Structure 1
Amino acid sequence: MKGLAPAATSKWKTGARHPERTRERILAAALKEFSAKGFAGARVNVITRRARVNKRMLYHYFGSKAGLFREVLRKKMAQRAAWAGSSPDDPAESLPYWFERALQDMDWIRLQQWEALQAGNGKVMDEEARRKAAAAGVENVRGRQKRGYIAAELDPRHVLLAMVSLTTYALAFPQVVRLITGLSPDDPRFRIERTRFLRWIGSALRPGNSSKDAR
């Protein structure tokens, strides 16, 4: 038993010497666990084992399981905000762009699936910050309307909601894709077809292509 103490101490000191590296390793392990099992089902001991740290170190950095989950969300939101900064203004280009980002970010999609199952329509973790991020997305659409990329008569809230749905639904529900198209979302043929379709839909959002009589 005495032989275990130095190893544990060494592990703690290693983490203390490289705090950012250790912190990022914990966040990466937590993202995998939360996206696989949701917040309620995720186990801290699985996260610490995957990150090669002890529980004391995890709680030192994040305070609690909820604090860790909140930081995972914030990291993903920061990543998505950076992607938004590079997104094309033209919806015929931005829809394929976000579809490609979604393909690279399946953990985010799974996190939201679990959240919907576990929270339903109730409040979610870090709700206020996420509302602000959503509001920024709506303002982005409104700005593109003013610059002439998206029809001004469309409700920017519903434009954003449609864009999110069009670029993520097929990846969130692969069984529906297979039943309708006979293809898997992983199939290159589906990705080519989907990208072509998204370009067409995006072009329909441009000024002059929407109906002013729509209710």
Structure 2
Amino acid sequence: MKQTISILSLAVLLAACGGTSSDSAKTEEKKEAAVAAGNAYVIDTVTTTVDWRATHKGGLAPRFGIISINDGTLTVDNGVVTAGNFVINLAALKVDTASVTEPGKKAADLENHLKSPDFFDVAKYPTAKFVITKVAPYDSTQQKSLLPGATNLISGNLTLKDSTLNITFPAQIIIAGNDVTAHAKFTIDRSAWGVHYKTEGSPENWAISKDVELGFTLKANKK
């Protein structure tokens, strides 16, 4: 029997995003990790995908690509996600060549810039991490989400570079037998984690938006 519940998602950022059609993740101080209880599910790193989208000022020149997951697990007890964690491979961040079309510009150059100290400094911080702190039911009469079929609010600590903050966002997950599939799409403010490149001073002077849109389809298998 299929059950629909919802879980988390990592998050990791990258350059910046403009106007989006996703929910803004609530950002707070770091919280205690949830206690794992129930059956463990291992993330399938081959079929799990994390997409990012970012824009320059005013939503111009959108850039997008993918980020891979090194490893991760989540715990399910009686049809409810109780805990989980994910390691995100920032050193393997990719820029889709279709998003870099201007003459003289290359996706590889943008990838290298995003991996530099201006953004994520992957030589020093090659990975990011997301750890679930709470899973709560999503109530459509109390909350309004742009994510179709949202069933839960997921909270978790996102560590990027040397900063850790707690984010909360709507998500959907389907459990069918020994398989779990989760989906989410949300926006975060990269500057909250100290990634300030081209966002210094007044907003009218920003060259790149502070917002980053992240979307993921996560697949896991019961141990």
Structure with the higher fraction of residues in strand conformation: 2
* TM-score, length basis structure 2: 0.27
Q: Which one has the largest radius of gyration?
A: 1
| Greater fraction helix | 1
Q: Using CA pairs below 8 Å that are at least 6 residues apart, which structure has the higher relative contact order? A: 2
